[in-house]
Amino acid sequence: MVSLKTARQAAEDALTTIGAFPASMPQADIGELRKALNWLEMLLNSRVGARPVAGFWRIIEIPLEADVGDYLLSDYDDNAGTQQIFGVGIVSGTGSVDHLPLIWENESLYENLEDTGTPCRVVATRDASPVLKVYPTPTQSNEDAGMVLRVRIQTFHTEIDKSGNADNDLLLRPSWYLWLNDRLSYEIGKGPVRRLPEGELKRLQDDARTLEIELLARDGQYNSGKPPVTEPMAGWDADNEYHGGSRSGYTPNGSR
């Protein structure tokens, strides 16, 4: 069985990488550990803000209520909160599901808020606590029929306990642990815990970028049944040798 890391283990690994937690120490300095855990949480939440991450996907269901058009997602999701809404469907009392078009608040200017009936589209706000606004406004017959909104979302990471065991599940597949270690080491090595030499920071940054490119090349094939072999990145030949730019696949000025 594959080994799954906790938040504390990931933070301790990064502290070891930057030299703050050598093998001679029985445990990491609690102040430095808390800083590493804080940056770990920010890093994970930044990650899920940039792209879909499977461990953070959820399905939530919201019962329609008569004369209620606005539904605060934090009343229905878990403690992690909602980072992104992928899609919304409406489930009838018999269990059939119809997709509802999803638009964003700044694109919704011409709704007749007096209209009532079975919702045919949804507007989502973009603030820290998103609201789903269904249109038209549901009626008592919709509520009596047991109709619900089925919402596919991506959450943030649940708050990591920074004072106790920090035994939170990272919600990442183990294939991403090495990337996480390099990237977290880079973040806490820029000053929060240690200030590493520029050369060491660049090595950590380059290694994280290389791993990210390789992992994303496979993760982009969500429905593929093929083995994890992808097309080579631009600049690589058939023997997996890179020609030009840096070892991470980025040129020195950051272009691809």
CATH number at residue 66: 2.40.30
Query: Is 41 inside a domain boundary?
Result: no
Please give the Cα distance from 158 to 162 (Å, whole number): 12
Query: Is 239 inside a domain boundary?
Result: no
Query: Is 186 inside a domain boundary?
Result: no
- Which residue is it, tokens 């909160």? 81
What are the C-alpha distances in Å from 30 to residues 3, 5, 12, 187, 244? Answer: 24, 19, 11, 18, 43
Domain that holds residue 98: 56-155
Query: Is 106 inside a domain boundary?
Result: yes
List, in order, residues 6 or more apart from 5 with CB less than 8 Å away.
13, 170, 174, 177
Query: Is 1 inside a domain boundary?
Result: no
Tens-binned pLDDT, residue by residue, of the chain (256 aa)? 888 999 999 999 999 999 999 989 999 999 999 999 999 999 999 999 888 888 899 999 999 999 999 999 999 987 788 989 999 999 998 899 999 999 887 655 566 678 899 999 999 988 888 999 999 999 999 999 999 999 999 999 988 988 778 898 999 999 999 999 999 999 999 999 999 999 999 999 999 999 999 888 876 555 445 544 444 444 444 444 434 433 343 333 343 3
Predicted TM-score (pTM) of this structure: 0.77
Query: Is 113 inside a domain boundary?
Result: yes
Query: Is 140 inside a domain boundary?
Result: yes
Query: Is 249 inside a domain boundary?
Result: no
